[in-house]
């Protein structure tokens, strides 16, 4: 039996993420655990890094929990799925926080910036609101095993005010449009991460998690 560790560092919608991964694992020999124990994370074959809330709080809690070395090890050696702020944390730096922003994990080169949509209007004449909250399309920009069975330009559920801006376009696996084009999916080696919430994205979100569970990067 293999294990998927959903990392509990005190931030994020852990229960809904874990329940979605458990639903995706139904009928398999995969065990899904929510854990704050670095040893359990180190022993797991796959890791899910959720995140919700302010970047500075997430980084502080991850550091204080003692889980950061396990996250860095997982990112280097095993399949890792980042969700929402869990995706943003993978980059070098976020503009979110006090003056100077917040240093993040530095696993994928790039930064996290805030939407600047002042004065812009949507097709129906309404103003763009920040945060983006609701369903939006994701255009697949590269072939990837996690896209298997998921049609291009499918809709997923987003809640965010900041977005990832990777330095290398090859690390973008999906883009979306909200007043501007932005990276909504990152992929590099054994890492796949989404700005949207698969656990809130109905069947296609579950399909992503199923693909992750069988992925052998």
Q: Count of CB atoms within 10 A of residue 170's CB?
A: 11
Q: Which residues of 55-86 are buried (b: 16+ CB within 10 A; e: fewer)?
A: bbbbbebbeebebbebbeebbeebbbbbbbbb
Q: How many CA atoms lie within 13 A of 215 on its CB side?
A: 25
Residues with a catalytic annotation lie at: 84, 197, 199
> Are the CB atoms for 166 and 113 separated by under 8 Å?
no
CA separation (Å) from 46 to 3, 67, 75, 102, 141? 7, 15, 10, 27, 24
Say if strands 46-49 and 110-114 run parallel, antiparallel, or are unpaired: unpaired
The pair of structure tokens assigned to 31 is 């065990």
**Closest by Cα among 80, 129, 134 to 107:** 80
């Amino acid at each position: 039996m293999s294990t998927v560790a959903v990392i509990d560092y005190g931030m994020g919608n852990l229960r809904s993420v874990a329940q979605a991964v458990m639903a995706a694992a139904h009928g398999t020999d995969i065990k899904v655990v929510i854990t704050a124990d670095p040893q359990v994370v180190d022993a797991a074959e796959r890791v899910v890094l959720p995140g919700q809330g302010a970047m500075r709080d997430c980084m502080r809690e991850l550091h204080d929990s003692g889980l950061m070395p396990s996250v860095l090890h997982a990112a280097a050696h095993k399949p890792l799925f980042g969700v929402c702020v869990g995706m943003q944390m993978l980059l070098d730096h976020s503009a979110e926080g006090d003056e100077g922003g917040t240093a993040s994990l530095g696993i994928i080169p790039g930064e996290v910036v805030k939407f600047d949509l002042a004065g812009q209007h949507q097709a129906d004449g309404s103003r763009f609101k920040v945060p983006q909250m609701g369903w939006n399309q994701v255009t697949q920009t590269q072939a990837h095993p996690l896209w298997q069975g998921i049609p291009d330009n499918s809709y997923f559920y987003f809640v965010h005010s900041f977005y990832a801006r990777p330095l290398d376009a090859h690390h973008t696996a999906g883009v979306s449009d909200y007043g501007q084009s932005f990276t909504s999916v990152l992929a590099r080696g054994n890492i796949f991460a989404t700005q949207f919430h698969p656990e809130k994205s109905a069947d296609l979100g579950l399909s992503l998690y199923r693909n992750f569970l069988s992925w052998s990067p």
